[in-house]
Structure 1
């Protein structure tokens, strides 16, 4: 993906000093700022501004993933794979044969799946 290559180059030895010095902690404030700007654009129903702010937020997400990749914690492909698995798991009515009679039943199932995921994470953390 072109943009991931751009972020990688920004973080390289010959890259941008600002991008190179960023860390997960230093990015927190920018992620929050860009999220607020995105929300304001949504509230203003300004589609072009929404597009711009989505790009800014995407940049920060990919930069954060790149930093974690450099430390060999995980990479962007793993992030995408994990969220893909989560969406499929949490939408059995779309990706499996489960059917629900109401939105309330659907939500109940979604909450149960989410609780099971949380429990599984806690068990994995203990091991």
Structure 2
């Protein structure tokens, strides 16, 4: 495993511990709904750090957003819905699917064509999510 992978796993374990019975009362009482305001606040702070070109602040705010992502995944994992591995698997598949010019033989001629293909793929994905679920 890479150094980054080990650090990531350690952080997931930290968040899991924070949510445990021996963890932090604040972390344990959070829900996806209660975390919405923090997602918004931390995203705004990240944008400010980017605008200020403050790399240390960007790093800190990315960490805050990563914490919220892991925390939200942990909460969903506790409900047996999905875990952070599922989130990563989903985004991996999405990136490969949306970049056929990189991960398949498909070629594009320009950035404009690339953008158009990306929008088409995204629209097909959205249409697929909108279909009624069969029981």
Normalized against structure 1, the TM-score is what? 0.96
Pair 1:79 & 2:108 matched:
no
Residue 126 of structure 1 deviates from its aligned partner by 2.9
Distance 2:128 2:122 in 1: 10
Pair 1:35 & 2:43 matched:
yes
Q: Give the RMSD, CA atoms, in angstroms.
A: 0.8
Residue 119 of structure 1 deviates from its aligned partner by 1.3
| Pairing 1:81-100 to 2, within 5 Å after superposition | 81-100=89-108
Residue 64 of structure 1 deviates from its aligned partner by 0.5
Task: After the TM superposition, list the runs of 4 or more consecutive aligned residues in structure 1 that deviate by more than 6 angstroms.
Answer: none
What secondary structure, in the 3-state scheme, does the structure 2 residue paired with 1:33 have?
Answer: helix
Pair 1:61 & 2:69 matched:
yes
Pair 1:126 & 2:124 matched:
no
**CA displacement, residues 55-105 of structure 1 (integer Å, 9 cap, x when unaligned):** 011001100110000001111000000000000000001111111111121
Q: How many residues align?
A: 126
Distance 1:102 1:70 in 2: 45
- Partner residue, 1:18: 26
Normalized against structure 2, the TM-score is what? 0.91
Distance 2:133 2:89 in 1: 24
Unaligned 5+ runs, structure 2: 1-8
Unaligned 5+ runs, structure 1: none
Q: In structure 2, which of residues 90, 108, 121 is the aligned counterpart of residue 113 of structure 1?
A: 121
Distance 1:66 1:51 in 2: 22
Pair 1:52 & 2:60 matched:
yes
What secondary structure, in the 3-state scheme, does the structure 2 residue paired with 1:126 have?
Answer: coil
